[in-house]
Amino acid sequence: MQRIVLTYGLIAGAIVSAMMLLTLPFMEVIGFDRGVVIGYSTIVIAFLAIYLGIRAYRDKVAGGRIGFGRALAVGLLITAVASVCYLASWQLVYHRVAPDFLDKYAAYAVDKDRRAGATEAEIAATRKEMDDFRDMYRNPFLNVALTLLEPLPVGLVFSLVSAGLLSRRRPTLPNVSGEHV
């Protein structure tokens, strides 16, 4: 199981990490709103590896049969590996590649409010919210937790759906009286 989990987890992790690093230089052109769509779309595409990994485990390791619980465990482990890759990539981006990312995002949020016709009080509230978020995000534990909240729910859904689709129970055999047990 370990080899399949690592293989498919690293494939998914490589996809989300590569897309993060490829789109980052173009974020001002792409825009933050489209960046979120691209980011989550990439996570969804990458997490197709969960389905493929569970199927590979079922077919190559489990002899063509896998229960829901085992399939879910495989999917969640693939999710964990991919999410750690995502986390590592974001930490690299946040601390080394684009340490001003949150400043740019805060400026974008304020500008978005201004273009939407927000009052000065609303703009000030957005500015304060962004400042508070930046301060909160400096805490390494919250930084990690908030970063993992992006891929983990998607991986959980993919794991549940894939486990449901791919799990196969052993067929019930008739007992001596001819009834199924």
CB contact at 8 A, 162 and 50: yes
Q: What is the DSSP track for 128-146? A: HHHHHHHHHHTSHHHHHHH
Write the pLDDT tens digit of every residue in 21-30: 999 888 888 8
Higher pLDDT, 178 or 48: 48
What SS3 class is residue 151?
Answer: coil
Write the pLDDT tens digit of every residue in 39-97: 999 999 999 999 999 999 999 999 999 999 999 999 999 999 999 999 999 999 999 99
pLDDT reported for residue 142:
95
CB contact at 8 A, 26 and 3: no
Nearest to 156 by CA among 53, 89, 73, 55: 73
pTM higher than 0.75 for the full model?
yes
CB contact at 8 A, 181 and 172: yes
pLDDT reported for residue 174:
57
pLDDT reported for residue 1:
80
